[in-house]
Amino acid sequence: MAQQTTETSSSQIEKLDRHGYLFGHGISHSMSPLLHQTIYDNLGLKWAQIPLDSTDMDLFLKLRQDPKFYGASVTMPHKVAILNHLDALTPEGEAVGAVNTLFVRDDPVTGERRYMGTNTDVIGIREAFYQNVSDPDAVFHNRPAVVVGGGGAARSAVYALRTWMKASKIYLVNRDRSEVKAVIDECAARGYGDALVDVSTVSQAQALEPVGAIIACVPNFTPKTEEEKEARRVLEYFLKQEHKGAILEMCYHPSPWTEIADISQQAGWKLILGTEALIWQGLEQDKYWLGKEVSQLPIEQVHKAIALKLSESKL
């Protein structure tokens, strides 16, 4: 697959002023190339992000040496593995321990190219809330929050809630206790793991304060095992409380209209689709690649392009 990708992209690259990659495996559904192409086209740039569906790290390391390479979106399974091939990390990349964005800088002394890493997933989560909630103080500031899930996105969610969103506590809801322990241990080791609570049952949830923000970081599925069903019941309990906050449903493939999205809307919560996090993390990436502030980028056009793509996927 990677061989075919590089062959088809080589002729494309020749026509471009600059190029980057979406480096990962199982990326055929990704809207990242569309998002970035919308930005470049609206700015009149002959740039493109080229999908590189591959597990071959050596291939990517070779391709990034091209003088016209500007950087890459890095997705699974490479977000942690890429750390060994970077010269420096931003504070976000360092804190989360995973990188979704590679950008290039020249060393001011030697002039040599340096490969830098950051994590814009955390910015995407943060901005998804702040761009869609008009009164954060009333909705989620200084209240407990909930993170559903136990993977990399859950760690990014904890970081965003703890660093910027003024969460007083963070309740972790997941079917697997060992995954929750891993999240707590890793976040604690990285300096933002205080006040994380594993909430495994509804009876435990009933003794807790109402929450203001929920971030769901799990695939769209109907619970089948008893552990899955109890995790869903815990989430539903938080959604049914008197205070109605805002929920970010991170899952948007194959559709953002998930079971959790439906339950949340019916419960009266402000629903924020996962494409919002996608858009804002992508805009943040181009801030690094283009050297422009996000406010200088075609934000409205990006929203329209992603919305159109979503509407086409429903047909």
Domain membership flag for residue 112: yes
> What average pLDDT does this structure show over 102-130?
96
C-alpha atoms less than 13 angstroms from C-alpha of 15 in its C-beta half-sphere: 7
Per-residue model confidence (pLDDT) at position 160 = 97
Give the integer Cα–Cα distance in Å for 84 and 240.
45
Same domain, residue pair 173 and 246 = yes
Domain membership flag for residue 301: no
Give the integer Cα–Cα distance in Å for 283 and 291.
11
Q: Is the distance from CB of 98 to CB of 80 less than 8 angstroms?
A: yes
Domain membership flag for residue 59: yes
34-64 in b/e form (b: 16+ CB < 10 A) is: ebbebbbeeeeeebbbbbbbbebeebbeebb
Residue 4 confidence class, pLDDT cut points 50, 70, 90:
very low
Q: What residues are annotated to the active site?
A: 79
Contacts of 215 (CB under 8 A, 6+ apart): 125, 145, 146, 147, 148, 154, 157, 160, 161, 247, 248, 250
Same domain, residue pair 228 and 244 = yes
Give the integer Cα–Cα distance in Å for 69 and 114.
12
CATH number of the domain within which 168 lies = 3.40.50.720
> What average pLDDT does this structure show over 166-195?
95
Whether residue 1 is predicted with pLDDT greater than 70 in this model: the reply is no
For 139-208, the DSSP string reads HTTTS-EEEE--SHHHHHHHHHHHHTS--S-EEEE-S-HHHHHHHHHHHHHTT--TTEEE--SHHHHTTS
Per-residue model confidence (pLDDT) at position 206 = 97
- State the total domains in the chain: 2
Per-residue pLDDT tens over the stretch 242-252? 999 999 999 98
Same domain, residue pair 20 and 61 = yes
Same domain, residue pair 128 and 199 = yes
CA 15 to chain centre: 31
Beta-bridged to residue 21, according to DSSP, are: 50, 72
> Would you say the pTM of this structure is higher than 0.85?
yes
Per-residue pLDDT tens over the stretch 6-38? 555 677 888 999 999 999 999 999 999 999 999
Contacts of 153 (CB under 8 A, 6+ apart): 121, 217, 250
Q: Is the distance from CB of 52 to CB of 6 less than 8 angstroms?
A: yes
Check residues 54 and 194 and name the one with the higher pLDDT: 54
Whether residue 305 is predicted with pLDDT greater than 80 in this model: the reply is yes
Same domain, residue pair 129 and 267 = yes
- Give the sign of the dihedral formed by CA 51, CA 52, CA 53, CA 57: negative
Residue 253 confidence class, pLDDT cut points 50, 70, 90:
confident
Whether residue 289 is predicted with pLDDT greater than 50 in this model: the reply is yes
Whether residue 3 is predicted with pLDDT greater than 80 in this model: the reply is no
Whether residue 43 is predicted with pLDDT greater than 70 in this model: the reply is yes
Rounded mean pLDDT of the chain? Answer: 94
Q: pLDDT > 90: what percent of the chain?
A: 90
Per-residue pLDDT tens over the stretch 209-222? 999 999 999 999 99
Backbone angles phi, psi at 19, to 5 degrees: -145, 155
Residue 138 confidence class, pLDDT cut points 50, 70, 90:
very high
Residue 230 confidence class, pLDDT cut points 50, 70, 90:
very high
Per-residue model confidence (pLDDT) at position 314 = 62
CB atoms within 10 A of CB 310: 16
Domain membership flag for residue 98: yes
Give the integer Cα–Cα distance in Å for 124 and 275.
9
Among the three residues 85, 119, 153, which one is the final residue of a domain in this structure? Answer: 119
Among the three residues 119, 147, 170, which one is the final residue of a domain in this structure? Answer: 119
Per-residue pLDDT tens over the stretch 53-86? 999 999 999 999 999 999 999 999 999 999 999 9
Domain membership flag for residue 268: yes
Task: Kindly report which listed range (33-47, 157-171, 242-256, 271-285) carries the lowest average pLDDT score.
Answer: 242-256
- Domain holding 9, by residue range, is 2-119
